[in-house]
Amino acid sequence: MDFKSYITGFVDGEGCFSVSFTKRSKLNTGIEVRPSFSVSQKKFSLDLLKKIHEYFTCGAIRYSKSDGVYKYEVRSLSDITLYIIPHFQKYPLLTAKSKDFDLFVQICQMMTANLHRNHEYLAKIIDLAYQMNCSGKRKYQRKDLLKLL
């Protein structure tokens, strides 16, 4: 079996590309942008998360008490750029999640260019992020974030 293709298949079902926002008065824009790639599993599939962690050589596995699941997550922008994005460019997702991934890549590229520190580009990032499906419950509505800018 080709584990790289397996990972893409598994992530197409169980993975999540998301971008969340937090109010941070100390930042120039007032808003922190946090990209995240994650895969959650119950305890009996923890071994697979460990293999995925090993393969991507970045991120961490932690236990989420509220959901009762183990979550492999990569939050570092440079790790996402170096290890996560190139994998899914070489082994592309085949479900609607590929649209989330495309938006995620756009946002990460803008962040790498430090554009999220600029009000105008941050508004664009918020627009893109709120088109993604996989971000779970949003703390803020899109319009509330844009008002802050």
> Which residues, 9 to 38, sit near a copy of itself by CB under 8 A?
9-14
Q: Which two tokens stand for residue 9?
A: 């298949």
Number of residues that bind a copy of itself (CB under 8 A): 28
CB 40 within 8 A of CB 14: yes
**Single residue of 60, 64, 67, 92 touching a copy of itself by CB under 8 A:** 92
**Single residue of 20, 27, 30, 45 touching a copy of itself by CB under 8 A:** 45
Q: Does 140 contact a copy of itself by CB under 8 A? A: no
Q: Does 42 contact a copy of itself by CB under 8 A? A: yes
Q: Which two tokens stand for residue 51?
A: 């293999």
Max CA distance (Å), the chain: 50
Q: Does 8 contact a copy of itself by CB under 8 A? A: yes
How many other C-beta atoms can be found within 10 angstroms of the C-beta atom of residue 105? 18
Partners of 38 in the β-ladder: 16, 73
CB 129 within 8 A of CB 111: no
Q: Does 48 contact a copy of itself by CB under 8 A? A: yes
Which one, of 130, 101, 118, lies nearest residue 31 by Cα?
A: 118
Task: Point out which span in 40-48, 58-66, 70-78, 111-119 binds a copy of itself (CB under 8 A).
Answer: 40-48
Contact residues toward a copy of itself (CB under 8 A) are 1-14, 41-42, 44-45, 47-48, 51, 90-92, 94-97
